[in-house]
Amino acid sequence: MVTGRAASPPTQANAEDPIVFVIDDDASVRDALSNLFRSVGLRTVTFGSAHEFLQHKPADVPSCLILDIRLPRLSGLDFQAELAKAGIHIPIIFMTGHGDIPMTVRAMKAGAVDFLTKPFRDQDMLDAVTTAIDRDRSRRDEAKVLANLRGAFATLTPRERQVMTLVTAGLMNKQVAAEIGVAEITVKIHRGQIMRKMAAKSLPDLVRMAEILGIGRASGGAQT
Amino acid sequence: MVTGRAASPPTQANAEDPIVFVIDDDASVRDALSNLFRSVGLRTVTFGSAHEFLQHKPADVPSCLILDIRLPRLSGLDFQAELAKAGIHIPIIFMTGHGDIPMTVRAMKAGAVDFLTKPFRDQDMLDAVTTAIDRDRSRRDEAKVLANLRGAFATLTPRERQVMTLVTAGLMNKQVAAEIGVAEITVKIHRGQIMRKMAAKSLPDLVRMAEILGIGRASGGAQT
DNA sequence: GTTGCGACTAAACCTAAGTATGGTCCTCCC
DNA sequence: GGGAGGACCATACTTAGGTTTAGTCGCAAC
């Protein structure tokens, strides 16, 4: 994508490049990881505590978080739960010097990408980061599509939403009309408006949008 | 759900009831788990080795597998990998007396439901089993729907499949006709045949089927 | 009070979808 | 060589989908 990249100085960060965040109270660990990631060209930002991380404005690029289980105030696991509750879904890689199996299980159940015991091989960490970044990239792509669809859906009037639900459920215009008690022509006009507002190029297109938006669940469809 | 259950003798198994499989080389562990599960009304079948389990014909009901990490010949983790490779997707709950974190991570990454360290509380095991059975039930339901759809799709002729792909992608009959080089009327006839064979009640219905079948990926749709 | 908008509708019109009926051509298989 | 089935097409017809134009009604904001 970026041409003439070889000429760029290594410190010049591209706004599209992924970022690795590291939280550890041990400065030597932070530096070691920072060097490791920079050596493979990854932007890295380190923090001494979970609190500092939260102060930092969330980056709008694929990223992941390296977390020590044992953090200054909050445990890494509790911090993971906090982030989830706050709707922050950054992939997490745990490190630990003295973790146990229940901790590991809890972290993995909560969606952690990996759980590395110190000392770990650099390559294991790099592999985990690659997986985590890929996962975040996919998640962000999906979130973006969903946000756009929700934005379009929000421009629909209540009636249009209702019509969209029934139309994508497979009802004919006349059936929709009977269902909501209006004339068929009215449904047609709503329907045209829906297609324009949702920027749907065809009915199948609209149906797929409805699926992504989770519209019309709890009514018969493609089951057997 | 089941009425008049109290009158049934505990040994009378309903063919729809879930089953818990236990593999452990220690007979006392097998008995203890068997008693635990039976005490809550769960059908339980135990095995002394992975080999014995494989001899047993797979049950066609929601089930899960309790596995000791340390098995006679094969390790529990390797057995998990074997099952996955063989396409057997039964949810697994691991038990261990002397496991470590890398084992735990590997098991969880491979989809294990839980990883319990001995001694564990009965309630933890029961909770894990409940989760596992629920997971298997969902998976089986989805697999059943998918199998039915695939079965219907298999009855389509190559031409019909092609038309279905293009129609569910949102092309009009005349566009499909131009695309494959036939008359519009021919497309209409194929289309009618498709609706009958797939038992689709409407175009949105067919579109959802196509989605589940993964048809027509790699062409523009509901993106922004 | 009038402007804007959502919801509704009619009439007229056009295109798309779907269903017979009837038929050709080809290929594979018994 | 006769039958089955897939693919194809024409004619004729019906129903469904969709747009344009034009207009009513009610309500909330300015």
Any strand D atom closer than 7 Å to A180 CB: no
User: Closest Cα of chain A to B119: distance in Å?
Assistant: 12
Q: What is the pLDDT of residue A73?
A: 83
User: Closest Cα of chain B to A167: distance in Å?
Assistant: 8
* Cβ pairs A/B, distance under 8 A: 103
| B195 C-beta neighbours (distance < 10 Å), count | 17
Is A145–B100 a contact, with Cβ atoms under 8 angstroms apart? no
Any strand C atom closer than 7 Å to A137 CB: no
d(CA A209, CA A192): 16
In whole angstroms, how far apart are CA A125 and each of A99, A120, B130? Answer: 17, 7, 34
Any strand D atom closer than 7 Å to B151 CB: no
Q: What is the pLDDT of residue B221?
A: 40
When pLDDT is averaged across residues B64-77 and rounded to a whole number, the result is 91
CB A108 within 8 A of CB B104: yes
> What is the domain class of A155-213 according to CATH?
mainly alpha
Nucleotides of strand D under 7 angstroms from a protein beta carbon = 6-12, 16-21
Interface test with A, best of B108, B113, B141 (most A CBs within 10 A): B108
Count, in order, helices (H) and strands (E) of chain B: 9, 5
Kindly report the CATH number that applies to the domain delimited by A2-143.
3.40.50.2300
| A152 C-beta neighbours (distance < 10 Å), count | 17
Q: What is the pLDDT of residue A16?
A: 77
Domain limits, chain B: 2-143, 155-213
Nearest Cβ partner for B203 among A149, A203, A211: A203
- The more confident residue out of A107 and A7 is A107
Nucleotides of strand C under 7 angstroms from a protein beta carbon = 6-12, 16-21
pTM equals 0.86
CB A124 within 8 A of CB A116: yes
DSSP B156-202: S-HHHHHHHHHHHTT--HHHHHHHHTS-HHHHHHHHHHHHHHHT-SS
Q: What is the pLDDT of residue B13?
A: 56
Radius of gyration of chain A (CA): 24
| Least trusted range by pLDDT, from A29-43, A81-95, B63-77 | B63-77
